[in-house]
Amino acid sequence: TKIGDLEDCAAGRSVLIRGSTQAIRPVSKKMAFVVLRQSMSTVQCVLVASADAGVSTQMVRFATALSKESIVDVEGVVSLPKEPLKATTQQVEIQVRKIYCINRAIPTLPINLEDAARSEAEFEKAEQAGEKLVRVGQDTRLNYRAIDLRTPANQAIFRIQCQVENKFREFLLSKDFVGIHTPKLISGSSEGGAAVFKLLYNGQPACLAQSPQLYKQMAICGGYERVFEVGPVFRAENSNTHRHLCEFVGLDAEMEIKEHYFEVCDIIDGLFVSIFKHLTENCEKELETINRQYPFEPLKYLEKTLKLTYEEGIQMLKEAGTEIEPMGDLNTEAEKKLGRLVKEKYGTDFFILYRYPLAVRPFYTMPCYDNPAYTNSFDVFIRGEEIISGAQRIHTPELLAKRATECGIDVSTISAYIESFSYGAPPHGGFGVGLERVVMLFCALNNIRKTSMFPRDPQRLVP
């Protein structure tokens, strides 16, 4: 039986449960409580020594001697509690008949799970009451991730992540996209810049893919009209921020454009509105669980996603006292401020900013037809932080080679890619999403390490 389904079981029903011993509370020689947990659900098990139930005082002693987080099997009977239980546990109890230890945890764990699951508000309340509780730091959590992942909030976070990834696939499949896989061992940088992990590939210099960019475009040249990929992306980021990882999960898409690159924005609009709706309507328990430890305001979004030009964005910032160099990029602080301004004015945490200056976009980005100092490109923001970059791409080899050279890229290193556009290539565009960022920002979490199961950052390669 699943612990989460116990509330639906009638009193008197016999059940067999395997779970982890979250808490063990001896009451007397003849009585003890054991709280069992499976993922986000817990149930209180009651042991009372009695000849009728076949429970001995030895069995009670055995249960109270178990270490926390051991794996046990419990045979018992569902019963209604005598006293009201905490709202976060199943509202029934198990009267234990037999308890078996399957595998013991060491007596003192490096992380106390109860401390790891507390909200900041709980710590503050306890401190005011003069109680001393231990906060579990980010590094300790990550060092002992196999324990830390057991907190209810962490159980919920990676279930949400799975739903986002699944909806991404489901939505794009319904729009005739084909899922593909492109190589992660490649010969050079795909985004330009120095943030690549270098390695030797059978003695030849190579690197880990910074994105599937060049290959997803070549798939379009290969006659697939619409493609997507879910895969790892490697960036040799050399500074520590709350939103950069050295390895993250990229959700990428690329598609033929018939008339205008807003066709790509329309896909993003439909995709994300459907993801947000799905999470709100079907992941209530997970969102509530995250909220209990990390309180957040629900995401505000519009049925039709707001689009603003980059120029409108910098104008809004200017009116609010922040000057941005018109052909430069927005820094993190300006992006956050713009997020706040947009929310005040339009009532949404989710919007698209388009028509970025050419100077701040990668070489493969299509310049605007009416003014080539700008591009057919966009970024997408949640709560003032970037989750997506995308654009129409250059589909003629001459312009592509020219732009690569202007951006300081040696075209001989990407000649196969550039040549692909001389064999007949349709106009196309696409976008790349950072999965960990979507989950982090949807739930307003303060650090991307919370949404990466085993994060890779400049300091961390284990576990």
Instruction: Tell me which residues touch ligand AMO (CB under 6 A).
Output: 191, 211, 213, 235, 237, 244-245, 248, 250, 252, 386-391, 430-434, 436-437, 448
138 counts as binding ligand ATP under rule CB under 6 A: no
- Give the one entry of ligand AMO, ligand ATP, none that residue 226 binds, where binding means its C-beta sits below a cut-off of 5 to 8 angstroms depending on kind: none
Side-by-side strand order, sheet with 198-201: 185-186, 204-208, 198-201
Is 395 a residue of the active site? Answer: no
Scanning 156-164, 237-245, 291-299, 448-456 for contacts with ligand ATP by CB under 6 A, the matching segment is: 237-245
Q: Supply 166's token pair.
A: 């699944």
Cβ contact 82:44 at 8 Å: no
Alpha-carbon distance 152 to 343, whole Å?
A: 31
- Give the one entry of ligand ATP, ligand AMO, none that residue 387 binds, where binding means its C-beta sits below a cut-off of 5 to 8 angstroms depending on kind: ligand AMO
CB 432 to ligand AMO: min, Å: 3
- Give the one entry of ligand ATP, ligand AMO, none that residue 332 binds, where binding means its C-beta sits below a cut-off of 5 to 8 angstroms depending on kind: ligand ATP
Is 237 a residue of the active site? Answer: yes
Residues 380-399, one symbol each (x = binds ligand ATP by CB under 6 A, - = not), give: ------x--x----------
CB 211 to ligand AMO: min, Å: 4
Residues 157-196 that bind ligand ATP (CB under 6 A): none
Strand partners, 19: 72
- Give the one entry of ligand AMO, ligand ATP, none that residue 213 binds, where binding means its C-beta sits below a cut-off of 5 to 8 angstroms depending on kind: ligand AMO
Q: What is the number of H-type helices and E-type strands within the chain?
A: 14, 16
Q: Report the b/e string of 342-376 with b at 16+ CB within 10 A.
A: bbeeeebbbbbbbbbbbeebbbbbbbbeeeeebbb
Active-site pick, 70, 190, 389, 452: 389
Is 254 a residue of the active site? Answer: no
Side-by-side strand order, sheet with 350-354: 178-179, 226-234, 247-256, 428-434, 385-392, 377-382, 350-354, 306-309
Active-site pick, 37, 141, 243, 456: 243
413 counts as binding ligand ATP under rule CB under 6 A: no
Q: How far is CA 281 from the centre of its chain?
A: 18
Contacts of 83 (CB under 8 A, 6+ apart): none
CB 213 to ligand ATP: min, Å: 11
CA dihedral sign, ordered 198, 199, 205, 210: negative
Burial class (CB in 10 A: 0-12, 13-18, 19+), 100: exposed
Strand partners, 375: 367
Scanning 72-80, 105-113, 163-171, 233-241 for contacts with ligand ATP by CB under 6 A, the matching segment is: 233-241
Residues 332-351, one symbol each (x = binds ligand ATP by CB under 6 A, - = not), give: x-------------------
Q: Is 408 left (phi over 0), alpha (psi -120 to 50) or beta?
A: left
Q: Report the b/e string of 391-406 with b at 16+ CB within 10 A.
A: bbbbbebeebbebbee
Closest alpha carbon to 96 in 158, 41, 163, 50: 50
459 counts as binding ligand ATP under rule CB under 6 A: no
Position with the least CB separation from ligand ATP: 239
CB 4 to ligand AMO: min, Å: 32
Residues 293-332, one symbol each (x = binds ligand ATP by CB under 6 A, - = not), give: ------------------------------------x-xx
Active site members:
235, 237, 243-244, 386, 389, 437
Which stretches of the chain bind ligand ATP, using CB under 6 A? 237, 239, 241, 244, 329, 331-332, 386, 389
